[in-house]
Amino acid sequence: MVKIYDTTLRDGTQAEDISLLADDKVRIAKRLDDFGVHYIEGGWPGSNPKDFSFFNKIKNINFKSAKITAFGSTRKLENRADQDQNLKAIVESGVQVATIFGKSWDFHVRNALHITLPENLMLIEDSLAFLNQKMAEVFYDAEHFFDGFKNNREYALATLEAARQGGAGCLILCDTSGGTLPHELTAIIDSVRQKLGDKVELGIHVHNDSETAVASTLLAVRHGITQVQGTINGFGERCGNANLISIIPCLQAKMGYNVIPPENLKNLASLSRFVDEIANKRHSRHQPFVGRSAFAHKGGIHVSAVQKDPSTYEHIEPESVGNQRRVLVSDLSGRSNIIYKAKEYDIDLGSKEETEEVLKKIKDLEEKGFQFEGAEASFELLVKKTTGCYRPIFSFKGFRVMVNKFRHDRPPLTEATVMIEVGGEIEHTASVGEGPVDALNKALRKALEKFYPDLKSVKLEDYKVRILSSDKGTSSVTRVLIESKDDQGNKWGTVGVSTNIIEASWQALIDGIEYKYMRKGGMGCDPK
């Protein structure tokens, strides 16, 4: 069995754009426990107030399967183990598992610690022996082990022997700088195994500086490693750590290892998104297994084949990891894309002619700059308009946006007015905003929410502007992509294109609102 050791809450937070409060770390720890990881490294007790708070909060929580682990370094040379503040803080944290890191590279011993090589071996053994008397399990992180092995093989192995003499339950070989390539790494693991024997439990901890952390970790398991360390979404210092979101499904679904409860693998995508959300990071759409684009098909030939058998272009069933198949529409689309997407939206295109008409409109619009890959709500509306299954929720009468700047040292005042008609009733509203699009959005909402109160739940989640023809300067064509979200957590994308950024924004805003009402069932299907 391969055990998963998650270090998102400690090593992952060393990434320059990641910061987690103690309560954030508790929430992530609970989610990791639900998912089925074996160890959750909570942080370094006593090193900072957030980690101290986390260990206090975690004492009152019962975990189903995961063991919370405290992290720290070997004792200082001038301290006895029982007087070392770092080791005492680990014991006082209240957890039953500790991971201690020590120097395995002689270069670091001499130039970072400024002590002798024998003194470092003493610190490793002594620190682990002290904790082994106080904790249920103690692990040893051999920092920079692979670099140390390349530089001084015998000394790197001696540090592992010292940790084993101190009672370490698992020796974790760390590629701390991330520079060891997979073929080097596995050869070194084999040498370690030959030296220490088969009964010694080994772990792996790899950084991603060479873009090989996942590959190295998978190969390490093939070479006898039984504890895998990594982080959710590959969070970590510099280029990140080995990504558990890729490692776990590879081990379990592809390599046949027992890693987590099989029924939990379908929660992989939601776990990945949850951690990104808590860390206030945008989820990568291109992340393997869990990204929005991981099972997205664009080319017409691909889509046609996937319709016949998804395994033609998919290496795993998307549902098995909590993801879903998507078919994109673009100027590369064929009839298969259009038919597939229409079925997703329960639209019966009826005839080949209707399908060709939709395809022609899409290609014509993309020639003008529209893009429907990230705006599937606009695509669905386009299909409904083309097939007659569309009825607008209001009649547009006009809008006006005014920007007035009165003082150089103050921002301009932006005001928008909107006039619409619903059921024969004219509504004329005005609103101010932080800019023209914000003011226009507020005025439109104010006008429509009187008739459609459910629209109050719709929020503008993201707003992107792309200049498509920069060679034309300020008269360039602009594409606006808007992502909207409602209070049920549903998200949808819409698009607008114009040489006028306000007009492009208006198109995307209108599509976003009409899509919400349409999905609620308020937009009928009128025959052609």
DSSP string, 362-429: HHHHHHHT---TT-HHHHHHHHHHHHT----SSEEEEEEEEEE---TTSPPEEEEEEEEEETTEEEEE
Concatenated DSSP letters for 112-169?
II---HHHHHHHHHHHHHHHHTT-SEEEEEEETHHHHHHH-HHHHHHHHHHHHHTT-S
| pLDDT for 528 | 38
| pLDDT the model gives residue 242 | 98
Please give the Cα distance from 35 to 38 (Å, whole number).
Answer: 10
Amino acid (one-letter) located at 27: R
Contact 247, 22 (CB under 8 A): no
pLDDT of residue 234: 98
Distance of CA 261 to the CA centre of its chain: 22
Give phi and psi for 509, each to the nearest 5.
-65, -45
Among 176, 132, 183, smallest CA distance to 156 is for 176
Q: Look at residue 337 in the predicted model and tell me its pLDDT.
A: 65
* List of residues 6+ apart from 140 with CB closer than 8 A: 99, 100, 101, 102, 124, 128, 160, 163, 166, 168, 170, 171, 172
DSSP class of 193: H
Between CA 151 and CA 42 the distance in angstroms is 32
DSSP label at residue 2: P
Q: Would you state the pLDDT for residue 336?
A: 64
- Residue 440: what are its φ and ψ, rounded to 5°? -65, -45
Domains of the chain: 70-260 (3.20.20.70), 296-367 (no CATH), 394-451 (3.30.160)
Mean pLDDT by groups of 10 residues along the chain of 528 residues: 97 93 93 97 88 92 95 94 94 96 96 96 97 97 98 98 97 98 98 94 98 98 98 97 98 96 95 89 91 84 79 92 78 61 62 74 78 78 80 92 89 94 94 94 93 90 81 78 88 91 94 85 48
Which residues, 6+ apart, have CB-to-CB distance to 508 below 8 Å? 375, 378, 480, 481, 482, 494, 495, 496
In terms of DSSP bridges, do strands 478-485 and 491-498 run parallel, antiparallel, or are they unpaired?
A: antiparallel
**Residue in 6, 139, 135 with CA at minimum distance from that of residue 65:** 6
Tokens 């399967």 sit on residue: 65
Look up the pTM and report it. 0.72
pLDDT at 400: 96
Q: What is the DSSP letter of 293?
A: T
User: Both ends of the chain: CA-CA distance in Å?
Assistant: 62
> Crossing angle, helix 501-519 and helix 376-387, to 10 degrees?
70
Q: Which amino acid is at 139?
A: F
Q: Compute the distance between CA of residue 454 and CA of residue 414 in angstroms, rounded to an integer.
A: 27
The pair of structure tokens assigned to 59 is 């004492």
Nearest residue to 37 (alpha-carbon basis) of 232, 277, 298: 232
Q: Which two tokens stand for residue 440?
A: 């226009």
